C-alpha cells in the first residue's frame, strides 16, 4: 500500500509505502528533507502534518513534545503515512544529487588528540572516491547491523583519507572499541554521505559556527570548504569545551583566524582546570554567542555537538534573539542514551 505525500511549500509530491518512514521514502526518491539522527532522537526532521494521518513511531521525549503532537507535528524519520498526507517542512536543495554509497574502508591512522578525542583517518578502496557536502556525516554499519554516525571532518576537495573526530563515551558500543582494540589496517563498512548539515551557499549572510567537543568535526570541514571556495562571508566560530584540552585542534582554528580577516575564533571553556591558565571566555558556549550578538536577525547559525547545547541554542536564538527559524541548522550528536526511554 502506498500513499501520496505532498510538500505544502513547493507542491512537490512523492510516494511513501505504508511500511517505510516518510523521510526514508523522500530520500529514496531524491527529495531533500532535513534530518540528522534518523532514529527519533534529534528533532531535525520535525514537520507539521497539514492534512492526512500518520502513525508516529517511538522517539525520544525531548525530540517531540506531547503538545507538539497534539498540534499536528511529527518526526518524519519515524512516522509512516496512513493516508495521503500534506506536510509543511523546509525542503533541502542539493543533497538529492549526491549519491549515497555503502563502502568498505580501512583505518589508516588513529591519532589521540586528547584524553577522550580520537582523530580517525579512513582510506577508501583505490577506485572509490566519496562525493559529499562539507558538514555531512557517514554511518558505520557494525557487525550486528547497529549503526553509528560520525561527521566527516575533512572537506570534499581534499584528496587523501576521510577524517573523523570521535569522542569516547565510556560504556559505548563503538567508541569503547575505537579507544580499545581498534588499530590501523582494520576494515570497517559505512554508508554515506548522510545528513543535511552543510553550508547554504545561496545567501551572503554572516555565519555563526557553534560547536562543542567533537562537534568541531563538521565545522572544520565547512571552514576548510569556505576557504577553498573563497567564500568570504564573515564567520565567527565559537568552540566550547569543559577544559582547554577539549579544544583539541584550537591551533587550526587560531590559524584560520590569523590568516583570514573575515574569520574570527572564540574559544569558550565551561570548567577550565586551574593548570589550564585560562584567561579567555568562560561559561556555556551558546551564551557567549548571545553576549556578543544579542540580535541574530541577519545571521545564519550552524550548530553541532552535544544535544543539550544544540537544543538550548536553537531555543534561545530563535525565541529571544531574533534568529529566523529557517536560519538555524544543526546536527545534534545523539547516542543510545538519548533513546533510552522512548515514548
Q: Which of residues 67-86 bind ligand FES (CB under 6 A)?
A: 75, 77
The CB-side HSE value for 180 (13 A sphere, CA atoms) comes to 9
Indicate which of ligand FAD, ligand FES, none lies near residue 169 (CB less than 5 to 8 Å, by partner kind): ligand FAD
Judged by CB under 6 A, does residue 37 bind ligand FES? Answer: yes
CA distances to 47, 145, 162, 245 from 33, in Å: 10, 25, 25, 36
Site size with ligand FES, rule: CB under 6 A: 13
**Residue selected from 120, 149, 268, 293 as contacting ligand FAD according to rule CB under 6 A:** 149
Which candidate, 75, 85, 8, 68, places its Cα nearest to that of 44?
Answer: 75
Q: At what angle do helices 216-228 and 250-259 cross, to 10 degrees?
A: 30
CB of 34 to ligand FES, least distance (A): 8
**Residue selected from 155, 212, 214, 236 as contacting ligand FAD according to rule CB under 6 A:** 214
Judged by CB under 6 A, does residue 105 bind ligand FES? Answer: no
Indicate which of ligand FES, ligand FAD, none lies near residue 261 (CB less than 5 to 8 Å, by partner kind): none
Judged by CB under 6 A, does residue 285 bind ligand FES? Answer: no
Virtual CA dihedral for 298, 303, 309, 313, nearest 10 degrees? 10
Judged by CB under 6 A, does residue 175 bind ligand FAD? Answer: yes
- The set of residues, in sequence order, having a beta carbon less than 8 Å from that of 77 and lying 6+ positions away, is 21, 23, 24, 35, 37, 38, 39, 40, 45
Contact in structure between 270 and 197 (CB atoms under 8 Å):
no
Indicate which of ligand FES, ligand FAD, none lies near residue 174 (CB less than 5 to 8 Å, by partner kind): ligand FAD
- Indicate the residue whose CB is closest to ligand FAD: 172
Choices 6-14, 35-43, 127-135, 136-144 (CB under 6 A): range interacting with ligand FES: 35-43
Q: Based on CB atoms, which residue is closest to ligand FAD, 218 or 293?
A: 218
DSSP symbols for 110-174: EEEEETTEEEEEEEPPTT------TT-EEEEE-TTS-EEEEEB-S-TT--S-EEEEEE--TT-HH
Judged by CB under 6 A, does residue 307 bind ligand FES? Answer: no
Task: Give the pairing type, strands 46-51 and 85-88.
Answer: antiparallel
Instruction: Give the Cβ contact number of residue 102 at 10 Å.
Output: 10
**Binding mask of the shown chain, residues 108 to 137, with x at each position contacting ligand FAD by CB under 6 A:** -----------------------------x
Binding-site ranges for ligand FAD (CB under 6 A): 36-37, 137, 148-151, 164-167, 169-175, 195, 214, 217, 331, 333-337, 340
Binding-site ranges for ligand FES (CB under 6 A): 35-38, 40-45, 63, 75, 77
Amino acid at each position: 500500500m502506498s500513499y501520496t505525500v505532498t510538500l505544502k511549500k513547493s507542491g512537490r509530491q512523492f510516494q511513501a509505502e505504508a511500511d517505510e518512514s516518510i523521510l526514508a521514502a523522500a530520500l529514496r526518491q531524491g527529495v531533500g528533507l532535513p534530518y540528522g539522527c534518523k532514529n527519533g532522537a534529534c528533532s531535525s526532521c520535525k514537520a507539521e502534518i497539514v492534512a492526512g494521518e500518520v502513525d508516529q513511531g517511538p522517539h525520544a521525549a525531548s525530540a517531540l513534545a506531547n503538545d507538539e503532537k497534539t498540534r499536528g507535528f511529527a518526526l518524519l524519520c519515524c512516522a509512516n503515512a496512513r493516508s495521503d498526507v500534506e506536510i509543511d517542512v523546509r525542503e533541502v536543495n542539493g543533497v538529492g544529487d549526491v549519491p549515497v554509497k555503502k563502502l568498505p574502508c580501512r583505518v589508516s591512522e588513529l591519532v589521540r588528540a586528547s584524553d577522550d578525542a580520537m582523530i580517525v583517518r579512513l582510506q577508501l578502496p583505490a577506485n572509490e572516491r566519496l562525493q559529499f557536502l562539507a558538514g555531512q556525516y557517514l554511518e558505520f554499519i557494525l557487525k550486528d547491523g547497529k549503526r553509528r554516525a560520525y561527521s566527516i571532518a575533512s572537506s570534499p576537495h581534499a584528496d587523501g583519507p576521510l577524517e573523523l573526530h570521535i569522542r569516547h563515551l565510556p560504556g559505548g558500543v563503538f567508541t569503547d572499541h575505537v579507544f580499545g582494540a581498534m588499530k590501523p589496517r582494520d576494515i570497517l563498512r559505512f554508508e554515506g554521505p548522510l545528513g543535511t548539515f552543510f553550508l547554504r551557499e545561496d545567501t551572503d549572510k554572516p555565519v555563526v559556527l557553534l560547536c562543542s567537543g567533537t562537534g568541531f568535526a563538521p565545522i572544520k570541514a565547512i571552514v576548510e570548504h569556505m576557504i577553498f571556495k573563497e567564500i568570504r562571508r564573515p564567520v565567527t566560530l565559537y568552540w566550547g569545551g569543559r577544559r582547554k584540552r577539549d579544544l583539541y585542534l584550537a591551533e587550526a582554528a587560531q590559524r584560520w583566524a590569523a590568516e583570514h580577516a573575515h574569520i574570527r575564533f572564540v574559544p569558550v571553556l565551561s570548567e577550565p582546570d586551574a593548570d589550564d591558565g585560562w584567561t579567555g571566555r568562560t561559561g556555556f558556549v551558546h551564551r557567549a554567542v548571545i553576549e556578543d550578538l544579542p540580535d541574530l536577525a541577519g545571521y545564519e547559525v550552524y550548530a553541532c555537538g552535544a544535544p543539550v547545547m544544540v537544543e538550548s541554542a536553537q531555543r534561545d536564538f530563535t525565541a529571544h534573539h531574533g534568529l529566523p527559524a529557517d536560519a538555524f541548522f544543526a546536527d545534534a550528536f545523539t547516542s543510545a542514551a538519548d533513546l533510552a526511554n522512548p515514548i
